[in-house]
Structure 1
Amino acid sequence: MKIKNHSIITLILACTVIIAIIASSHLYGSGIGERAQEAILRMRTAQFYDVRFSSNHLKVGDDLVVTGKVMILPIWPHELGFSGIGYINFFEPGPRLARKETIVNGQPVFSSMIVKLGDTYDFKEVLTARRPGTWPVGVTMNIKDIGPIVGPSIKVTIDPSSAPFTNTVQTLTGQTINLENYGLSRAFGWSILWVLLGIGWLYYWLILKPTAPRLGLAYLEKEDELVTKQDQRFGFLFLAIVIVLVFGGAFLTSKQFPIVIPLQKTFVRIDPLPQGPTFVEAKVSKATYYVQQRSLDFDLTVTNKGNEKVYLRRFQTANVAFLNPAAPDNQWPADSPEVNGGELQITPNEPILPGETKLLHVKAQGAAWEVERLSTIYKESSSRFGGLIFFGDAAGNRNIIAIADQFVIPVFQ
């Protein structure tokens, strides 16, 4: 029996060591978890597009610039709720890059902002490479009460630099500090002090006052022996030490740093991007998802209200995009971080002439539905899909139309 127990303990310790090695390796940073989010959250809430990363290979200290747009879809899922408070963020496995600047619609943003349904926001984020390695990084739209909605991502390789990473800023008093180590010794000192106090408290009540004999005293209702006068004096001594440390530390800190700014909790109002001229109207009338074919088919009624013929160029949902190969100059961008879902099959695949209304049958077929775990739309309590439809003319003008509440009929044959 002892040999068996020893073998089990050895096996448990070995498994623990293996798990710790895997967790501490770079394997944990192979993705940012966008596929773990429900399809309803990725397809029907906020849609990123035109996202670009300035580079995927940096050195420590180099800047990474991320630009793009995000639209809050006008028909927000009722079952999720909409708080109207959002924040454009950056997702990475730990502090591998340091944020330097966030600009939304031309304005610097330092806190959450008020967002509205149907509005589009242009963003720019500047980050500085901080830790060597290869890391998945991407943009997110955090919505209060919902959480992060993950956008496109890439893997960035950061090479070591000859100089250590520094993050220097100048305070309002003119002092230049390095945020990488500023106040680090103070934080360590206070942490060690409180840990020592906690160890001392546990040593007195668990080592000097063993638990088992004290349980017997409690059972015999000997309160005088359970907590003695010495125990009370020890407790009051610790209480006095804690009070002195708390109020004394606060007093010394206020004397050392008399100029402070409280944490900001206000919300910023950012005007959305102005809407351009609308020359196309489109409405989805029927949608079907063919499970075995991995294909989303929908009928689209399109009206061209402009003076130029237009093409249906692109359908994008979550971070997957399907392109119409018949549209002129509609090749897949080499620097696009979105997932290439494949060709967009349109019947009839012809331009919509000025003043013409045409019914199009659109077929977005590809393995990306399964790989990106978006095919679960028919398994959820709300079997609906959403996304963006891109129309464009020969001059490069675009109309982007959001669809976010279309019922999907699953077909299993």
Structure 2
Amino acid sequence: MNPESTGHLLRRLFRLAVGVLALLVLPVSPASAHGEESQQAFQRTSTVVFYDVKFSDDTVDVGESVTITGMVRVMKSWPDHTLEPPEMGYLTVSTPGPVFYVQEREMSGEFTPQSVRIEKGATYPFKLVIKARQPGTWHVHPGFGVEGAGTLVGAGKDITVNDTGVFENTVTLANGTTVDLETFGLGRVVTWHLISLVVGLAWLLFWLRRPILDRAMAISEGRGATLITRSDRRIGIGFAVVALVVGTGGYAYAEMTQSSSVPLQVVRTTPVPLAEEEVSGAVAPEIESIRFNAEADTLTMKLRVENTGAAAVRLQRVQFGDVEFVSPSFASAADPDAQAMTVTPDQAIEPGGSATFTVEIQSEDLIVRSLVPVNEAELRVTGLLFFEDETGEQVVSEVNELTSAILQDFH
């Protein structure tokens, strides 16, 4: 390698080192975005859907709790042809870092600390109680992770945590000792990190004591076998012995000082879903067609609904992913974030009767949120239809992707 090439390489390495150092030390501003929009439309509309999500508060102090309740539905129209059937799921909360702590986690009224067994077409009432840890304004979603499909989120809300109050996370152990989980075992964690850092740095410094360029040149000239000497091998074995002694000694020390420890436990529960008749009632909708007009930004659904129940029902709202569209008849009591839709004719379906409706939605927000799969291989849409009877009871049915391919209008 000639001096000119060596100098060029050193200059490049120096610029790279300066760039990495700048990334590590310069302050950065928090990023704000809807990461769930990177998921494909079929994932967010036909796998898991949250609805009737409620937050108990939007402003709390550090150490205070917020309760999130609602329904989570594993869709009947789960895309088995693309994803593995749903078997295991996990109720969680999606936040920008560990700014909240999950205190309680329930599905169908059952304590669910870990993953649970789920089934396609099931609807589960859920409850999350989260405690504020860090001050700031944080965007919070309930989330549900499904093995093989990733985590899907429900409607989110900005929660402001005031910089007052104290966060505590204490628990009483089996031996009667009360500890703070925020700091419990922190000293041992730091100690082991320092030991690992010292051993690792010593290993690196031992091998990097020789110029990298000289070693690279030796390898390029076919003299790589001469770089490792008998002394190097002995020192390498010494490092291995040190690592083994440190690890074994640490294990023995832990056994002596923490003899009452219990192995991590695995709990797999099966929450009982709501009975289908509790969810969908006696309403049977059928999608006749769904048309998307790109120029007018409209999504028009034609559906026929049969009511075999004892009470009249009326179409209340439609939901795709976490975006809701509400009928004018229910606009006054709707969620403030819900958008308007047009229902023709906007009338009730009497018991034993049926009716055909045309529902028109301004789809601009659906396009922005990537919920209409116009640029994907499957032009299908899946969602939920909500009906309400004369007594105020809610009935939920699916817009089934198997029967609702989108037809595009280009005029």
The normalised TM-score by structure 1 is: 0.88
Q: Hey, what's the Cα distance between the residues in 2 that align with 1:75 and 1:373?
A: 19
Q: Determine the structure 2 residue equivalent to 1:359.
A: 356
Cα deviation digits, residues 6-38 of structure 1 (max 9, x gap):
9xx99997999589757x323x1x244122221
* Secondary structure at the counterpart of residue 381 of structure 2: strand
- What is the 5 A alignment of 1:394-409? 394-405=390-401, 406-409=404-407
* Secondary structure at the counterpart of residue 49 of structure 1: strand
Cα deviation digits, residues 311-339 of structure 1 (max 9, x gap):
01111111111111135x752235xxxx4
Task: Check conservation: 2:344, 2:359, Cα contact below 8 A.
Answer: yes
Q: Determine the structure 1 residue equivalent to 2:151.
A: 148
Q: Hey, what's the Cα distance between the residues in 2 that align with 1:153 and 1:20?
A: 32
Select the residue among 97, 100, 104 that pairs with 1:97. 100
- What displacement does 1:217 show? 6.5
> Structure 1's 222 and 261: CA in aligned 2 closer, same or farther, altered over 3 A?
closer
- What displacement does 1:384 show? 0.6
Task: Check conservation: 2:86, 2:120, Cα contact below 8 A.
Answer: no
> Structure 1's 374 and 395: CA in aligned 2 closer, same or farther, altered over 3 A?
same
Task: Check conservation: 1:104, 1:124, Cα contact below 8 A.
Answer: yes
Task: Check conservation: 1:99, 1:128, Cα contact below 8 A.
Answer: yes
- What displacement does 1:64 show? 0.9
* Secondary structure at the counterpart of residue 185 of structure 1: helix
Q: Determine the structure 1 residue equivalent to 2:131.
A: 128
* Secondary structure at the counterpart of residue 244 of structure 1: helix
> Structure 1's 235 and 347: CA in aligned 2 closer, same or farther, altered over 3 A?
same
Output the amino acid matched with 1:393.
D
Task: Check conservation: 1:71, 1:120, Cα contact below 8 A.
Answer: yes
**Identity, % of aligned pairs?**
29
- What displacement does 1:389 show? 0.5
Q: Hey, what's the Cα distance between the residues in 1 that align with 2:24 and 2:204?
A: 31
Select the residue among 273, 286, 293 that pairs with 1:283. 286
> Structure 1's 236 and 93: CA in aligned 2 closer, same or farther, altered over 3 A?
same
Q: Determine the structure 1 residue equivalent to 2:317.
A: 314
Select the residue among 101, 113, 119 that pairs with 2:116. 113
Select the residue among 133, 138, 160 that pairs with 2:163. 160
- What displacement does 1:404 show? 2.9
Q: Determine the structure 2 residue equivalent to 1:236.
A: 237
Task: Check conservation: 2:320, 2:371, Cα contact below 8 A.
Answer: no
Cα deviation digits, residues 86-139 of structure 1 (max 9, x gap):
111100011000111101111101111111111101110011100111111111
* Secondary structure at the counterpart of residue 175 of structure 2: coil
- What is the 5 A alignment of 1:318-357? 318-327=321-330, 331-334=333-336, 339-342=337-340, 344-357=341-354
Q: Determine the structure 1 residue equivalent to 2:375.
A: 379
Task: Check conservation: 2:77, 2:382, Cα contact below 8 A.
Answer: no
For structure 2, list consecutive stretches of 5 or more residues without a partner in the other structure. Answer: 1-6
Q: Hey, what's the Cα distance between the residues in 1 that align with 2:63 and 2:406?
A: 48
* Secondary structure at the counterpart of residue 193 of structure 2: helix
For structure 1, list consecutive stretches of 5 or more residues without a partner in the other structure. Answer: none
* Secondary structure at the counterpart of residue 254 of structure 2: helix
Task: Check conservation: 1:87, 1:141, Cα contact below 8 A.
Answer: yes
The normalised TM-score by structure 2 is: 0.88
Q: Hey, what's the Cα distance between the residues in 1 that align with 2:29 and 2:368?
A: 25
Q: Hey, what's the Cα distance between the residues in 2 that align with 1:206 and 1:31?
A: 42
